[in-house]
Structure 1
């Protein structure tokens, strides 16, 4: 398989920053408080990588009644508090990205304020600015391909030459729909062996858990040396935002 990567598109939550467990904890607490009991594990499985608007639509359909008008505000406030105290960069992210030989950008389901805070708090923003794209810039969020196609267009790279690093089924599905090569990252604290299986089933071409392995994977893709068996291997070991 000869991909010749010319752009790496990173999801943010659970890929660059270890935030999925934080966000899911806040969502589970407030959604349960609103009348739909859900655990942190269920929130991760069902809503990781899914835009908040879609999550609220799904929950309202299950409840059969509108959610509280301030639910989004309550979740966001709780997430921001936890970000300021608990949020950290995924181990090895900054060092690896600084050495990448191909351009990169961020395409996230997070809203601009939360996305900007996450990257700034972990001191990753300077690696990508101004190439940081929020799903609010497009019509449909993941698992639709819109945000990845938007990012590729803005970066001037054809989808076939884009590699997407994602930790969610919604993100992998969106990358495939965009005609891009998805890699599944399972190095976040929210990931379990079942997470690996879900990403494989969704179509991730390679699963990895250490950022330090990314450069070698990209080189293998460029050389066409990643065969089908290897792709299924187990894991190894703000201008645009505000627009």
Structure 2
């Protein structure tokens, strides 16, 4: 039986690598320094999965004044330092992805330099290269669907046949807008007890916290698709009989 998912698109931060706390810590510290108090928890809730350019736009609107020109550089330098010292792959990600019987790619809000460093540092780069896509390649970042549609086009797969693994509301929203099936991942260290509820409300089809469960979830989606197709055939046949 052919699986319905013909492509699995992974977000990177908080899904493949346990980086959201690192990034949010750097963002919260530097943004607070320029006069807008932002806790790590608020940074995770408000800006996880959102492109940095959109975060800066929102903060500038709240402050009513432009941010310092060197703020992105300071944040990037701090993130790079923490990546090199602390960044790790999500438990089970490497082993699970190696066993999946479906093509995979990465579609992330991170800029290419940070994205490449994260995947290289955690020894995940070889599993995806060259199928690694950053939102700098498209007009709009998440929650717009652009990056997921771009990835599907480059991989030669219809959006309806794509599964997206996301840890953020913005990412789940983008996947739905792209006509794809989102799975909500809550295994990152930044995920609090309400994280699953937020992803479910956003439209995640399934929620999971262990990468080892991903293969089973993909099989469930395949079974659901086969069941729906069989039911549609039965309804069509019944309609012909009763016509």
Question: Which TM-score applies when normalising by structure 2?
Answer: 0.91
Matched, 1:116 2:108: no
In the alignment, the residues of structure 1 paired with residue 95 and residue 7 of structure 2 have an alpha-carbon distance, to the nearest angstrom, of 18
2:47 maps to which residue?
Answer: 47
Matched, 1:74 2:105: no
2:100 maps to which residue?
Answer: 100
Matched, 1:21 2:21: yes
Deviations 1:90-140 (A, max 9, x none): 000000000000000000000000000000000000000000000000000
In the alignment, the residues of structure 2 paired with residue 3 and residue 119 of structure 1 have an alpha-carbon distance, to the nearest angstrom, of 27
In the alignment, the residues of structure 1 paired with residue 54 and residue 3 of structure 2 have an alpha-carbon distance, to the nearest angstrom, of 32
2:132 maps to which residue?
Answer: 132
In the alignment, the residues of structure 1 paired with residue 127 and residue 187 of structure 2 have an alpha-carbon distance, to the nearest angstrom, of 20
Is the CA contact 2:4–2:225 (under 8 Å) kept in the aligned structure 1?
no
Q: CA deviation at 1:193?
A: 1.3
Q: CA deviation at 1:3?
A: 7.8
Q: CA deviation at 1:157?
A: 0.2
Is the CA contact 1:108–1:135 (under 8 Å) kept in the aligned structure 2?
yes
Deviations 1:9-30 (A, max 9, x none): 0000000000000000000000
2:221 maps to which residue?
Answer: 221
Deviations 1:152-171 (A, max 9, x none): 00000000000000000000
In the alignment, the residues of structure 2 paired with residue 126 and residue 89 of structure 1 have an alpha-carbon distance, to the nearest angstrom, of 13
Residue 50 of structure 1 aligns to a residue in which SS?
Answer: coil
Deviations 1:163-219 (A, max 9, x none): 000000000000000000000000000001111111011000000000000000000
Alignment of 1:157-168 (within 5 A): 157-168=157-168
Matched, 1:209 2:221: no
Q: Size of the alignment, in residue pairs? A: 226
In the alignment, the residues of structure 2 paired with residue 192 and residue 226 of structure 1 have an alpha-carbon distance, to the nearest angstrom, of 35
Is the CA contact 1:3–1:224 (under 8 Å) kept in the aligned structure 2?
no
Q: Which structure has the bigger radius of gyration?
A: 2
**Cα RMSD for the two superposed structures:** 1.4
Runs of 4+ with deviation above 4 angstroms? none
